[in-house]
Structure 1
Amino acid sequence: MSTYPNFPLLSLPIAAGLAYAPHFIRALIVINATKRWNNVSPRGQVDKVESRMTKSAYAMAKRAEGAHQNGLETLPIFYAAVLAALYAGVAKDTVTYYSKFFVLSRLAFNIVYIFNTNQASAGLRTGIWTASIVACLKLFLAAAATKY
């Protein structure tokens, strides 16, 4: 028996954590590079301190910022897909499978996005993003096909 018998609901806060993790990684990159953080205006922080950062640290911070934004953009789609599938009564194993797939793909997406330095890894990132969206679409389609 699973420790978390209703993983699809647990996956919702996990997915939120994965969406926000790059924000904190970006802050750590900036703090490590500049030895300070401006919490009064954190959204523009990376651009404000660009001149005090190495090019690679600045680029990584910008990619972390992008991963965070992408996570926020994707999160509502995932939430709606999981909740629609649960509401429609889609088989629990199906919802669990796609919830786990989404969470793992978002973890991989963040890693690849933040450490991406070439076109090949950028292509991999796009493939991972596509896979995470397909998981959501599968949940929506399963919900639509379920009679309740």
Structure 2
Amino acid sequence: MSFSLDSPLSLYSIPVVWFTTFYPMNMKFRLITKHMGYNNCQPRANTKKILESGSVPKDIAARAERLEGAHLNGNEILPMWIGAVLAGNLVGLPNSTLNTASAVFIALRICYNTIYINHTTAGLSNLRTVVWLASMGVPITLFVKAANLLHSKSA
């Protein structure tokens, strides 16, 4: 089986994008486990506990909070990505369009997470916002292209 930009690959981007939402949470789990122990009975309270702990350095606690933020942001954008990919496939957007959008979106989400997890300055937080805006443009573009194609088919 050979792959090209014209192969129907965009649906594979959905689990890949899900992974980009999952790995910051996994990194947070390992960080908290290492520095204070992870409470699996109340997992959603761990970030608050590490922030309030006087025994964990503030930079470590801040990193745990940023990891959680990256995870939550990914969860917020995931439904939009799923909808855009499904809409594009449903109306028959070209595979090359869907595949290119998928690759760009995945790259932007990885870039976003990297900046979010590691930034400690206002300048980098502004860059994170720019990357987020760019990443939001990808599913919006797919929705618009899908709507335009559907509209042209009904005319």
Aligned with residue 32 of structure 2, among 25, 30, 33: 30
TM-score w.r.t. the length of structure 1 is 0.94
Are 2:9 and 2:95, in contact at CA under 8 Å, matched by a contact in 1?
no
Distance 2:9 2:20 in 1: 16
In the alignment, does 2:134 pair up with 1:131? yes
Q: Contact 2:20–2:109 (CA<8 Å) still a contact in 1?
A: yes
Q: Which runs of 5+ in 1 are unaligned?
A: none
Aligned equivalents of 1:14, 1:26: Cα separation in 2: 19
**Corresponding residue of 1:47:** 48
Q: Which amino acid aligns with 2:41?
A: V
Report how many residues are paired: 147
Does 2:3 correspond to 1:2? yes
Distance 1:141 1:3 in 2: 24
TM-score (norm 2): 0.90
1:68-123 deviation digits (Å, cap 9, x = unpaired): 00000000001001110110111110111111111111111111000010011101
Structure 2, unaligned stretches of length 5 or more? none
Structure 2 residue 89 is matched with structure 1 residue 86: yes
* Residue type of the alignment partner of 2:113: N
Contact 1:33/1:54 (<8 A) preserved: no
Quote how far apart the aligned CAs of 1:3 are.
7.5
Find the structure with the greater CA-based Rg: 2
Per-residue deviation at 1:56? Answer: 0.3
